[in-house]
Structures are given as structure tokens and as C-alpha cells.
């Protein structure tokens, strides 16, 4: 039976630089179109770690070249730039792959803002590194002029850190929904979306933050009333005891399993933990919803129940 699916792509699906990205999206598109070919409605969310870092570094170098002329580029703007050029490559590759298979669908990239709470505790404890390493003098100047916060490494110097708040609302949800319902494959919430907070009146202000793309994909899947959330990553299944003699690959996980294993520190904080938390949250959000974590190349087999780790709510 055809489903509405949100697919979250890991960094390995896009490559680390422009040439790699142009090649990677071809393979990625084949896996996504496998799902579309079976009649599913698909919305794609992607990461942007290397890409937004590259943009932030380039903008920082521009500022360094002439501080009187060029001011630092806001991180929200860097995120918007990355959504645009990743979307451009990905939608072209998806369009070509669908036409090669005689699938008549449009593809659209939606520049997506994602609302976060201004009082999210993450803003008081920024941990996400962004941009280039710099000298103490440069860091102190930016700290004084713009309120940036930094981490320090004895060998590399100072590097800016920003918050990673949880997504609250997908601002362009109605646009995404309309495109899906009019026979389009939609690329949205790139890099977790452009983080914005509500300020006076109806104004949305870009926030110096990075939203985890798996949490953004989960929020989008909920608000789109999707049937499934598929998180594609570098492993075929979720494991406990990963990399040890006691390594065990898991076929299924309930919300209770995720809670218990997370508390036991079985999942890496910067890698698998947000994925399993996002998958579990979606599966628990409404009866009948499922989530899957698997390899990019195994997406179709995973959806068919042949591989991957499937997440279900405790009541199911």
C-alpha cells in the first residue's frame, strides 16, 4: 500500500564538497526514486554539515579580507544558501532519475524556516561548532562586537559554537503539503531548516543555531501526517555494544526500549542517539506510524520489512 514518507538523508548521501555532492546525489536519487516508483509520496530532508561549514568559512574569510566593507554573514543566511544549492543538485538528480523511469512527477525545493523556542535551554549551552578556527584576538573581537561564544583548543585556537534547539513548528508546512498533494517530490528542511524565533508581531528572526536534521524530519513527518519516517545513515541497522565484542544488531525497537538503552548510553550522542530518539518519537506520536533506520541503498528493502531497524510505539 502506498504511503506518505519523510526521508532523512545522512551526510554520506551528499558528499563533503561540490564535486562529491554532484556524484553522490545520483546514487541518492536512485534510492529515493525506488520508493517513489512504488507509488509512495516522498518528502526529502537532508543534512548540510560540510556545506554550511564551507559557506561559513568562505564568508569569514571575506570578512577578514576587508572588515570595514564586509560584516560577518548570519548563520541563518548561510543555512539558507546551503538549502538552495544542495536542493538544486538534488532536485535535478531526482528529476532525471524519474524521467529515466517514465515517472511523471515534479520536484521542488522549499526554502524552509523552522521555528524554535527563544527560551529553549540549548541557547544557554551552545555546543555545536561552526566556522573556522581563529586567533584569540579575532575571537575576542567577535565576542565583543557580536556576542559570539567560543570553544578553545590548545593547538587549533578558538572556534565559534552555537545552540542546537529542538524544532517547534515547520513554517512552510502548508506549502510543502500543497506540493505533495499536487504530485511533487519535495525537498525541505535542509540542514534541519533555517532556525527562526517569533519576535514582535508576526516577525520571524533568524537564530544563531543549528537544528538537528533528524529532529526536524520527525517534526515535519508529524505535521504532514506521514505514515513513515525513514532515516538513512551509514549502517544497515541500529546496534548496541557497537564496535565491541558484544555488538548486537537490532531488528525492532519500542519507545520503552529506546528510553532504556539511551539511559544506558548505548547510542552515540553525536551520531546515533538523535536518530533513534527522532524515530521513536515519530513512531509513538500516533497509532499506525512507523519509523525505520537503515542504509541508503537498503531503503526499499527496509520499507518492505526485509532489513533495517523498525521502530513502533509501546502500544503496538
- Residue that wins the pLDDT comparison between 108 and 20: 108
> What is 185-197 written as a DSSP string?
EEE-SGGG-EEEE
CA–CA separation, 53 vs 184, rounded Å? 30
Cα(87)–Cα(300) distance, integer angstroms: 22
pLDDT, residue 316, reads 52
Q: What integer pLDDT is reported at residue 315 of this predicted model?
A: 56
User: What is the average per-residue pLDDT within 114-141?
Assistant: 91
- Tell me what pLDDT residue 158 has: 93
Tell me the residue length of the chain: 316
> Considering only CA atoms, which of 72, 120, 131, 112 is closest in space to residue 194?
112
* Predicted confidence (pLDDT) at residue 313 exceeds the cutoff of 90: no
SS3 of residue 39 by DSSP: coil
* pLDDT, tens digit (0-9, with 9 covering 90-100), for 181-200: 999 999 999 999 999 999 98
pLDDT of 12 reads 67
* Percent of all residues in the chain with a pLDDT value above 70, rounded to a whole number: 98
Q: What is the pLDDT of residue 96?
A: 97
Average pLDDT rounded to a whole number, residues 56-84: 89
For the annotated catalytic residues, the residue numbers are 11-12, 128, 213, 275
Tens of pLDDT along 213-236? 999 999 999 999 999 999 999 899
- Spatial separation of the C-alpha atoms in residues 30 and 97, rounded to whole Å: 7
Reported as a single tens digit per residue, the pLDDT across 8-50 is 998 667 877 778 888 889 999 999 999 999 999 999 999 988 8
Q: What is the pLDDT of residue 72?
A: 82
The three cell numbers locating residue 120: 529553549
Cβ neighbours for 43, distance < 8 A, ≥ 6 positions apart: 4, 5, 6, 7, 176, 180, 185, 186, 187, 188, 220, 224, 226
Residue 312: pLDDT over 80: yes
Work out the pLDDT band at 314, boundaries 50, 70, 90.
low
Supply the pLDDT for residue 132. Answer: 80
More confident residue, 91 or 11: 91
pLDDT value at residue 142: 86
Nearest to 276 by CA among 316, 224, 240, 306: 240
pLDDT at position 52? 87
| pTM of this structure | 0.92
Q: How far apart are CA 281 and CA 127, in angstroms?
A: 23
**What's the whole-number mean pLDDT along residues 244-262?**
93
The larger pLDDT score, comparing residue 128 to residue 13, is at 128
Please tell me the distance from the alpha carbon of residue 72 to that of residue 68, in angstroms, as a whole number. Answer: 11
Span 83-92, average pLDDT: 94
Q: What is the pLDDT of residue 54?
A: 87
CA nearest to 221, candidates 2, 32, 4? 4
Higher pLDDT, 110 or 71: 110
Q: Please give the backbone phi and psi of residue 89, each rounded to the nearest 5 degrees, phi first.
A: -65, -45
User: Average pLDDT for residues 291-314, to the nearest whole number?
Assistant: 93
Name the percent of the chain lying above pLDDT 90.
73
Q: How many CB atoms lie within 10 A of CB 246?
A: 9
Residue 207 has pLDDT above 70, yes or no: yes
149-160 residue pLDDT tens: 999 988 899 998
Q: Which three cell numbers stand for residue 227?
A: 505514515
pLDDT of residue 101: 98
Amino acid at each position: 500500500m502506498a504511503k506518505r514518507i519523510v526521508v532523512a538523508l545522512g551526510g554520506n548521501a551528499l558528499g563533503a564538497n561540490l564535486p562529491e555532492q554532484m556524484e553522490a546525489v545520483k546514487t541518492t536519487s536512485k534510492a529515493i526514486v525506488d520508493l517513489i516508483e512504488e507509488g509512495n509520496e516522498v518528502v526529502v530532508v537532508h543534512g548540510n554539515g560540510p556545506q554550511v561549514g564551507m559557506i561559513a568559512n568562505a564568508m569569514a574569510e571575506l570578512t577578514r579580507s576587508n572588515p570595514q566593507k564586509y560584516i560577518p554573514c548570519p548563520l541563518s543566511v548561510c543555512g539558507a544558501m546551503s538549502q538552495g544549492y544542495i536542493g538544486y543538485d538534488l532536485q535535478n538528480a531526482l528529476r532525471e532519475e524519474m524521467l529515466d523511469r517514465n515517472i511523471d512527477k515534479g520536484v521542488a525545493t522549499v526554502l524552509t524556516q523552522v521555528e524554535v523556542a527563544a527560551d529553549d535551554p540549548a541557547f544557554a549551552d551552545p555546543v555545536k561548532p561552526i566556522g573556522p578556527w581563529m586567533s584569540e584576538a579575532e575571537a575576542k573581537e567577535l565576542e565583543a562586537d557580536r556576542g559570539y561564544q567560543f570553544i578553545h583548543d590548545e593547538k587549533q585556537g578558538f572556534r565559534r559554537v552555537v545552540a542546537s534547539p529542538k524544532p517547534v513548528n515547520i513554517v512552510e508546512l502548508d506549502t510543502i503539503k500543497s506540493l505533495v498533494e499536487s504530485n511533487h517530490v519535495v525537498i525541505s528542511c535542509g540542514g534541519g531548516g533555517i532556525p527562526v524565533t517569533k519576535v514582535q508581531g508576526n516577525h520571524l528572526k533568524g537564530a544563531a543555531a543549528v537544528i538537528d536534521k533528524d529532529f526536524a524530519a520527525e517534526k515535519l513527518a508529524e505535521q504532514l501526517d506521514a505514515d513513515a519516517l525513514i532515516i538513512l545513515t551509514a549502517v544497515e541497522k541500529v546496534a548496541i555494544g557497537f564496535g565491541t565484542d558484544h555488538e548486537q544488531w537490532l531488528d525492532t525497537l519500542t519507545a520503552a526500549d529506546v528510553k532504556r538503552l539511551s539511559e544506558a548510553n548505548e547510542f552515540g550522542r553525536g551520531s546515533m542517539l538523535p536518530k533513534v530518539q527522532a524515530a521513536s518519537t515519530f513512531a509513538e506520536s500516533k497509532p499506525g506510524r512507523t519509523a525505520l533506520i537503515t542504509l541508503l541503498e537498503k531503503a526499499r528493502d527496509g520499507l518492505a520489512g526485509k532489513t533495517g531497524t523498525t521502530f513502533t510505539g509501546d502500544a503496538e
